[in-house]
Amino acid sequence: MKTRNLMIVAMLICVCLIAYWYRPAKNTENHLPKNQEGKVFKKVNLTTAEVPDKTELATYAGTSPFILKGIDWLAASQFENGGWGAGSNNRQHIRDPKAVKVDPGTTAFAAMALLRAGNTLKKGPHSENLKKALMYLLQLIEEYPAEGPKITNITGTQPQVKLGQNIDASLCAQFLMRIKSHTRGKLAKRIDKSLGKCLKKIQGSLAKDGSIRGGGWAPVLQSAMANNTLEMAYDAGLKVDKKALERSRDYQKKMGGKSKGGSRPVSTFGRRGMVSSPTYSKGDAGVALYSISSQQRATAKEAKKAEKIIKNAIRKGKLNKDAKINADNLNKVMDNEDDAKKLSQAYEQNEATYRSLQSNRVLAGFGNNGGEEFLSYMMTSESMVINGEEKFDKWQAKMLERLEKIQNPNGSWSGHHCITSPVFCTAAVVLTLTVEKDKDMLVKERKKD
């Protein structure tokens, strides 16, 4: 009898724990951390002094219907205060986009997707969503202390735990850089100030080895996004320490392994396979896709620069028509031997990562899709835009086919491990499939100082 009673008690405890775990989450629209609730913007009115009338709009024309469905779902998932949320890492089973806390990183990521898709602050089906998101982020960043690496007191979000604690600053900075060109006057000044704060925090959180402190489960992805942010800011002429950028870029170059070598297992998780190096690194949680896509994105601009230099030298008759892109030929037409070597190595690494990404086993990542996989696809698509049309067209055709197959019936995409958030995953997919609309910013190079 005693044993039976104990078993009954144990079963009741288990039932209670399960009920607690799967209990419906409260709508947290008005339950955000103190000082970060954000105003509720029913409609945001921006004057022509802040947003020019003649803003360019890359319309939705030509966008596949399944992508449009994802864009509409993402816009409908926004809170009234302008934010979006990925949800807590401790409650990954929650897929309702309105049953989570708003966080700045996910808000910036989702807003960036709507912007890249073709909306502006003045025009587009979801321009009002962009306005609300911008106002929410500016208020949050402006009110947060300038000291330290963070821009929010919200903790434990899926992106923070899986990518890194300081990911919010990078995501916000990337959005602010992209939206800035659509503004002027007082609004542009507010963006400049908040952007400067984010960039300062990113550079302040850079470790000696070039990584970003506070890494999560796959810290290479946080460091990659920070590197991309610093690179974009530097090329846009913003205040970025060039040595810090080089340190960050060098770290990413090491992540994918050597540019040449033998074969190793692709991943210590999920599916396994054999591909030529680069292989997995200690920062990618044993999933080769994360480090390979990070390295490819970090080497894309230098690889393209090496290609341009060689092609230009051939056109001018300084090199033979069949001249290869290598250190010897670059050294013949460049003034600095070290720079020639650096560009040659970047080109070799970029080509090696491109070859690795042709493998379906590498693309499988962890073995099933999570936000980390979708983020890796996005970075690779950005790299392909920089690399040129031939590589981009082949890659993008593969992505369109791959991602359409796994779309949810409601238009969203969601993860099956780690970052499961449909908001984060849908934003990443939209950013991947509309990347060509961001070409001008991605290929932009800094004018000589």
pLDDT-derived band of residue 367, with 50, 70 and 90 as boundaries? confident
Range with lowest mean pLDDT among 109-123, 244-258, 323-337, 376-390: 244-258
Average confidence (pLDDT) over 99-118: 95
Are 81 and 166 spatial neighbours (Cβ–Cβ below 8 Å)?
no
Query: What is the number of structural domains in the chain?
Result: 1
pLDDT at 217: 83
Q: Which stretch of 213-217, 316-320, 363-367, 380-384 has the lowest confidence by average pLDDT?
A: 363-367
Please report the pLDDT score of residue 371 as a whole number: 87
Query: What is the arithmetic mean of pLDDT over 318-325?
Result: 93
Percent of the chain with pLDDT over 90: 63
Q: Is residue 52 part of a domain?
A: no
The confidence band for 365, taking pLDDT boundaries of 50, 70 and 90, is confident
69 vs 52: CA distance, rounded Å: 29
CA distance 262 to 278: 9
Max alpha carbon distance in the chain (Å)? 96
Closest among 425, 398, 431 to 410, alpha carbons compared? 425
Task: Check residues 433 and 369 and name the one with the higher pLDDT.
Answer: 433
Answer whether residue 33 is part of any domain.
no
Quick check: is 321 in a domain? yes
User: What share of the chain in percent tops pLDDT 70?
Assistant: 78
Dist. CA 10–CA 179, nearest whole Å: 55
Task: Write down the pTM of the prediction.
Answer: 0.84
Between 113 and 42, the higher pLDDT residue: 113
Task: Give 20-67 pLDDT, tens digit per residue.
Answer: 444 444 433 333 434 344 555 555 666 655 665 544 444 565 688 999
Q: Which region holds residue 94: left if phi is over 0, alpha if psi is between -120 and 50, else beta? A: beta
The CATH number of the domain holding residue 155 is 1.50.10.20
372-394 as b/e: b if 16+ CB within 10 A? bbbbbbbbbbbbbbbbeeebbee
**In this structure, is residue 349 part of a structural domain?**
yes
Residue with tokens 């954000």: 38
Burial of 440 (0-12, 13-18, 19+ CB in 10 A): exposed
For residues 381 and 436, what is the distance between their CA atoms, to the nearest angstrom? 9
Which pair of tokens denotes residue 357?
């990404």
419: pLDDT strictly greater than 50: yes
**Residue 229 belongs to what domain range?**
58-443
pLDDT of residue 360: 87
Q: Which of 68-77, 95-104, 249-258, 274-283 has the lowest mean pLDDT?
A: 274-283
- Flag whether 35 is in a domain: no
Q: Which region among 4-8, 102-106, 327-331, 383-387 has the lowest average model confidence (pLDDT)?
A: 4-8
Tell me what pLDDT residue 126 has.
Answer: 95
Half-sphere exposure of 391 (CA within 13 A, CB side): 19
Q: Determine, yes or no, domain membership for 98.
A: yes
Four-residue CA torsion sign, 306, 312, 316, 320: positive
114 part of a folded domain: yes
Is residue 134 one of the residues assigned to a domain?
A: yes
DSSP state of 280: -
- Using CB atoms within 10 Å of the CB of residue 437, give its burial: 0 to 12 exposed, 13 to 18 middle, 19+ buried: middle
Nearest CA among 256, 192, 258, 246 for reference residue 221: 256
